[in-house]
Structure 1
Amino acid sequence: MRLSTCILPVDRWHEGGRDTWRRAEELGFHAAYTYDHLTWRVPFRDGPWFGAVPTLTAAAGVTERIRLGTMVTSPNFRHPVTLAKELVSLDDLSGGRLTLGIGAGGSGFDATALGQEPWTPRERADRFAEFVPLLDRLLTEDEVTHGGAHYAAHEARNLPGCVQRPRLPFAVAATGPRGLRLAARHGQAWLTTGDGAANSSGSAADSHTALARQAARMEKACAEEGRDPAELDRILLTGFTPDSTEGALDSLDAFADFAARHAELGFDELVLHWPIPDTRFALSPSLFERLATEGLSRAGLA
């Protein structure tokens, strides 16, 4: 199993931001992700919040080994053509260390920031179904022309292409059938935060059962696409399931138990939020660093 972190883009680069990304590499995390939003939920909505691509570009310049990625990019304010150009550039700047976390987006946060009405779940799914394969083409073909229901591209060029071949990996966030099919068809990883109902009012056992059902649906989607499920990494973004919220992982032993139970479900990457005081991610920095350096060993998963 691998352990990664998600660093919220809330600190000015020269007032702690740079040091955080460097420290993530020093602690040995597999990857460091950041949210690709224009704003986020309370208490972050009315505070500092920086852009994902510039932040990852800066992080690429002060690190050497750790993978970098978005968690997650969505069509809410992105267009595949301009996004592809930024991703090719960032993959080059990082020396081939970039992973694109990608999802359909939600109805809150930045869903209306460009002045549009919020899309229905079906509209988000329709856009995502066109967004992902078009982005796949833009990152693997020298020149792309496309005319679809939601997106267009005319002789869009992305030479010389990604450092990683045939392109940088996609970690597709999905729980529904259409998203899972996209993950099976285009993803190198499947990403989840758990089940919404279990996260809001369920127990740890409820969450575990719901994740097992999600994994089974992901495997079914792979079978329908003629793909071996073992080809997809399974990533769990923690901090939302009832057994990973604030206070639930308050010791090395609690984390070891959590990691072992999710390894049984086939998850091979856990993502911990970097601690932020007075938020749901207010884990003690000293414990967080022990989880980073000792947690998987304690669980027998290192």
Structure 2
Amino acid sequence: MVLRHGVYLPPFGELADPRVLVDLAAEAEAAGFDGVFLWDHVARPREPGLPVGDAWIGLAAIAAATQRVVLGPRVTPLSRRRPQDVARESVALDLLSAGRLVLGVGLGSDATGEFARLGEVTAPRDRAKLLDEALTVLTALWSGEVVDHPGPAFPVDNLQFLPRPLQRPRIPIWVAAQSVRQAPLRRAARYDGLCPEATPAELAAMLAIVAEHRGGDLTDYDVAIAAPTDDERAAYERAGATWWLTQLPPGITRDAALARLRRGPN
């Protein structure tokens, strides 16, 4: 599979302005990048005074201003979201982008304090349960069929959500994982891609487990690596990466980001 190239933008500081994100996404598309992905945070408590942009509004602006690039959040912590809201927003983005949305999901991290400071669930095991249930509800709502789901966290009582996404069988879902632990990789194997935080050797081991859960077949399965430099790109590609995302640093200025994007995916 040919390695595709994207850019991973932190919507903080000057990049919190969706108009700036539009400029950057248009530049990335013109420079030959295949995708534009955003961090999804609502606060950065340990960085007081830092402007934080809404990833979903930013993605909508990007979808309307581009024609070709794949786009999406990497990743949305579903434990802090209601799946019915994500269903509505993601379908709207899929329609607006003419089927270019990828939904990156995961547990998220409370390393910056945003979960605890906003009263969100913080225990990883509890967030994992919420993530799995939210994915069940979300994909059911995308189906366009009548949904009955008893809960416990996200009950749905005999509801049908229309319209359906443009993409079939569904909007692709990429799942975050950080180790060879079985539960996150079983989750990733059920969906369409992996967003790993791993060395090349660790990635190869993770994909061996994912492949086992998928009956040995990784055909059309995406693996999106985000990194600030290209030093290990070839090693990650050999390990199974299908996407290489150039990760721009938090706090980067608009002008510095534009200068980097104009160099293209290299």
- Across the aligned residues of Structure 1 and Structure 2, the Cα RMSD in angstroms comes to 2.5
1:179 is matched by which residue type in structure 2? P
- In the alignment, the residues of structure 2 paired with residue 108 and residue 128 of structure 1 have an alpha-carbon distance, to the nearest angstrom, of 18
Which residue in 2 is equivalent to 1:289? 262
CA separation of 1:278 and 1:171: change in aligned 2, threshold 3 A: closer
2:18 aligned to 13, 18, 29, which one? Answer: 13
State the Cα deviation string for residues 66-104 of structure 1 (Å, max 9, x = none). 111001011242111111111111111111110001111
Letter in 2 for 1:39: A
| Aligned-residue offset at 1:141 | 3.6
Equivalent AA in structure 2 for residue 182 of structure 1: R
**Residues paired across the two proteins, number:** 257
- 1:26 CA drift (Å): 1.0
Asked if the contact 2:39–2:73 (Cα under 8 Å) also holds between the matched residues in 1, the reply is yes
CA distance in 2, matches of 1:174, 1:277: 25
Q: Distance between the aligned counterparts of 1:52 and 1:284, measured in 2?
A: 17
Q: Aligned letter for 1:5?
A: V
What runs of 5+ residues in structure 2 fail to find an aligned partner? none
Q: How does 1:28-107 map to 2 (within 5 A)?
A: 28-40=32-44, 42-43=46-47, 46-107=49-110
Q: Where does residue 180 of structure 1 map in the other structure?
A: 185
Secondary structure at the residue paired with 2:115?
coil
**TM-score normalised according to structure 1 size:** 0.76
Partners of 1:99 and 1:278 lie apart in 2 by 24
Which consecutive unaligned segments of at least 5 residues does structure 1 have?
195-206, 240-248, 250-254, 296-302
Q: Percent identity?
A: 29
Q: Which runs of 4+ in 1 moved over 6 A?
A: none
- Which whole-Å CA distance do the structure 2 matches of 1:121 and 1:276 have between them? 25
Answer yes or no: is 1:266 the counterpart of 2:240: yes
**Cα distance in 1 between the residues matched to 2:185 and 2:256:** 32
Q: Distance in 1 between matches of 2:131 and 2:33?
A: 30
- Any conservation in 2 of the 1:184–1:227 contact (CA below 8 Å)? no
Q: Which has the higher contact order (CA 8 A, sep 6+)?
A: 2
SS of the counterpart of 1:138? helix
Q: Match of 2:226? A: 237
Deviation (angstroms), 1:289: 3.5
The 2-side partners of 1:73 and 1:104 are apart by 8
TM-score under structure 2 normalisation?
Answer: 0.86
